[in-house]
Amino acid sequence: MRTILGSYASGKIRILTPVRIQCNIIFSGAVGLALLFLTSGCGTPSQAGTEQARPGEPAAPGAAQVASGASQPASSTGAATIATWTPLPTFTPVPPSATPQPTQPATATPQPTRPPQPPTSTAAPSPTPTAKVTPVAQQILFTNIIHDYQSWNNCGPTTVEMVLSYFGEHRTQAALADALKGGPDDKNVRLDELQNYLLTDGYGVVIGINGDLALLKRLLSNGFPVIIHTWLELDDGIGHYRLVIGYDENTGEFISNDSYLGPHIRQSYVDFDRQWHYYNRQYLITFKPEESERLATVLGDNLDPALIARRAVERGQAAVKGDGSKDPLEWHNLGDSLLAAGKLPEASQAYEKALEIGMPKRYFWYQFGLFETYLQLGNADRLLALSSLFLFQQETIEELHFYKGEALQMLKRTGEARTEFQRAVTLNPHYDRAKQALDQLK
């Protein structure tokens, strides 16, 4: 196996030396685990990118007001109508500098059709839903969700802060950061970390891939705000979370609370989807357990992991055969989808094509399906080469230390593996996977 080399070109990472792909082990039962790790690489931007500020880099708007992590208070009317949603008969934009004001609530609020049900072990809604749902509205805006500007590297906790306000809970982003991050310089809070926190807090959670605009509109029309994993076009670009709180069919725009850009940020459907596709259109839905049946009805067959993966693969294959053939993100998304479908050799080929074209500079701070694929294939040489390459670019990504440790362990370099696992745990004491790997070496 030849060692790969990397370089930067126009803000992208390019792989210079082609490497023959070895597929030694096919991982059985890959679909369930692959979905977990497919959605595990998500990022949070800092005020000035995720590195130390460089001359000319902007600070986040409103950063001075929220250095302590305090939230902006919701309006009194909004507080009284927490956990409702508001279809707008007419749409009145709210200036970003103003505190969003609630409109009159809808005349009928969707209610569950059966008594509250306890969450399942996976907190997934019932796969055989019967509850009634509300048709897709022309306009929707949630008016009872606070906005807060993030502190350094804190969009994940801040977005959770905002979504919890929808349910009447008010927590500071600083407190959430303590629970979700390894420290102030932790650049990435994965979707599964957000999920685990919300589950322990008593909420249900659904994480999905290959979302689409129609699905978002159905969810919003039925009272479910949605966290998306997307891309923030700042400097060379950084992984980011947004909370989608509405849309307007008249103008063709989604409306989001963005912890970096501000409240009620409007994006055209085209721009919204272009940034969302950076991470295979991943989304996270938070819900009360008593809403599980209605949510399942809204989601329909989007609760079937095998069907989700198959559709994602089909969408990805169509994309790379068309205009996306030269888009590294489309190839990477296809790799993620093939990983979810358990097609590991094909996933590795799609990932390699993405690397050959050139990925965005910071992309692998937030997404780890590439590394998970080579781990499941048992390809230690390739896993070691890739993790070492991207750690050379940014040394403080705990997931990359974990994958490097796994590669070294496969190569029987136990002492070096222990060092990498320990480094991962030092960077993020909450990182259970690395802690388990370290414990197994003791």
Tens of pLDDT, residue by residue over 395-419, are: 999 999 999 999 999 999 999 999 9
Lowest pLDDT segment from 84-93, 143-152, 379-388: 84-93
227 pLDDT tier (thresholds 50, 70, 90)? very high
Question: What single letter denotes the amino acid at residue 338?
Answer: L
- The radius of gyration computed from the CA coordinates of the chain, to the nearest angstrom, equals 21
Report pLDDT for 23. 30
**Separation between Cα atoms, residue 226 and residue 21, nearest integer Å:** 38
366 pLDDT tier (thresholds 50, 70, 90)? very high
**Separation between Cα atoms, residue 90 and residue 387, nearest integer Å:** 51
Average pLDDT over residues 414-430: 96
**Separation between Cα atoms, residue 165 and residue 186, nearest integer Å:** 24
Higher-scoring residue by pLDDT: 188, 389: 389
In 10 A of CB 424, how many CB atoms? Answer: 26
Report pLDDT for 96. 31
- pLDDT tens column, 230-246: 999 877 788 999 999 99
4 pLDDT tier (thresholds 50, 70, 90)? very low
Average pLDDT over residues 262-266: 97
Whole-model pTM?
0.74
- pLDDT tens column, 162-197: 999 999 999 999 999 999 998 877 888 999 999 999
Token pair recorded at residue 387: 């993790």
| Residue 87 pLDDT > 50 | no
Locus of tokens 């500098």: 97
Average pLDDT over residues 253-264: 97
Question: What distance separates the 2 farthest-apart alpha carbons in the chain?
Answer: 66
Report pLDDT for 131. 78
Least Cα distance to 334 among 299, 373, 361, 287 occurs for 373
8 A C-beta contact, residue 158 and residue 259: yes
CATH H-level superfamily of 63-305: Cysteine proteinases (3.90.70.10)
Q: How far is CA 373 from CA 13, 124, 383, in A?
A: 19, 25, 9
Locus of tokens 């949603």: 85
Higher-scoring residue by pLDDT: 112, 357: 357
Report pLDDT for 47. 35
Least Cα distance to 303 among 134, 123, 33 occurs for 123
129 pLDDT tier (thresholds 50, 70, 90)? low
8 A C-beta contact, residue 213 and residue 223: no
| Residue 33 pLDDT > 60 | no
442 pLDDT tier (thresholds 50, 70, 90)? confident
Judged on CB neighbours under 10 Å (0-12, 13-18, 19+), 279 is buried
